[in-house]
Amino acid sequence: MKTPFNWHRTLLGLAAAGVIGQCSAFSFGGAEEAVIIPAPTLDETTQAHSETAVFAGGCFWGVQGVFQHVKGVKNAVSGYAGGAADTAQYERVSAGNTGHAEVVEVTFDPAQVSYGTLLQIYFSVAHNPTELNRQGPDTGTQYRSALFPKNAEQQRVAQAYISQLNAAHSFNKPIVTKLESYNGFYPAEEEHQDFLTEHPTYPYIVINDLPKVRQLKQLYPDRYQEKPVLVKAGM
């Protein structure tokens, strides 16, 4: 099986060689346009002060960067889910045959931001849920659109919201996001954490991911926080 070309590995290699700097002339794909969608009619009810949810929506750099700017999010960690523990390494996952997806595990305060609101941001800003096994310039099952509900309530809310959006024809194509069984989350390597914040001039980030953060601020100003919640700040 042909291994898909991996822009992320290429960028990291160029960075290590000192090639990438202010390289906005490079163009890898293009930013997805945000879609204005209604809030979920069914949302989670909980008395918990902290909860986690796992989102897969293409390259974890951009998904993490978006959720780090959402009020009520305590942490957002890039990682892998869907495969076995012994294959949860970047080079292995990039081959596209481990069962893993690049994901972000979001820890949040349900009193400040609900799971349903996180889903609304995920579907409308963080990625395009109508693209099958790809996002922007990245292709392969590791870039699939998927949710990994961690309890029955998350499963119920996510399934109801997908049905609601499809019934309302909120997108010009059907949503392909799958609800997958949660069997563990494996944090990605340190160099992948806080990538958007640490490398704002990388062409991939400039073209594909920074527009998502701007769209978050524009569409959800009450949910947006200027200072991101960084993983390495807590290390």
Check residue 138 and give its pLDDT: 95
Domain housing 138: 50-234
Q: How far is CA 76 from CA 54, 84, 147, 193, 227, in A?
A: 9, 21, 15, 9, 13
Total number of domains in the chain: 1
Residue 205 lies in a domain: yes
Does residue 134 sit within a domain?
yes
Q: Which one is catalytic: 12, 20, 56, 59?
A: 59
Per-residue pLDDT of the chain (235 residues; tens, 9 = 90+): 223 345 455 555 444 333 333 222 233 455 668 999 999 999 998 888 999 999 999 999 999 999 999 999 999 999 999 999 999 999 999 999 999 999 999 999 999 999 999 999 999 999 999 999 999 899 999 999 999 999 999 999 999 999 999 999 999 999 999 999 999 999 999 999 999 999 999 999 999 999 999 999 999 999 999 999 999 987 6
- 40 in any annotated domain: no
Instruction: Indicate whether 29 belongs to any domain.
Output: no
With CA atoms as reference, report the closest residue to 181 among 81, 88, 79, 96: 81
Q: Is 63 part of a structural domain of the chain?
A: yes
59 tagged catalytic: yes
Question: What is the CATH classification number for the domain harbouring 120?
Answer: 3.30.1060.10
Whether residue 211 lies inside any domain: the answer is yes
